[in-house]
Amino acid sequence: MEEKYCQSCGMPMGNLKDMYGKNKDESISEDYCKYCYDKGEFLAEVNMNQMINICIPHMLDANKNMSEEEARNIMNEFMPTLKRWK
């Protein structure tokens, strides 16, 4: 199965439906996680740099050997590939 990432924050969402956000009509959003998106709207009106700053502490938590600079470099490459920031 192809790994699915939230197209706003880049979080891997896997196949668990409860990780996905909802559209206005309560259907499941295929693109965004529940932390970013609910009822057809983004929960946080942030720009890409702000989103990167929000994500870095989570990345460092998940990757104990990663430095903040490494995390930022990865995010700077990865974020612009996501639908919300294209």
Q: Using CB under 5 A as the criterion, which residues of the chain lie in contact with Zn ion when the complex forms?
A: 6, 8-9, 33, 36
Name the residue type at position 49. Answer: N
Torsion angles phi and psi, residue 5, rounded to 5: -115, 145
Q: How far is the CB of 73 from Zn ion (least distance, A)?
A: 20
Q: Read off the tokens for 46.
A: 């942030």
Measured from the CB atom, the residue of 9 and 59 that comes closer to Zn ion is 9
Which of 41, 36, 38, 46 lies closest to 5 in space, CA to CA? 36
Q: How far is the CB of 85 from Zn ion (least distance, A)?
A: 12
Q: How far is the CB of 7 from Zn ion (least distance, A)?
A: 8
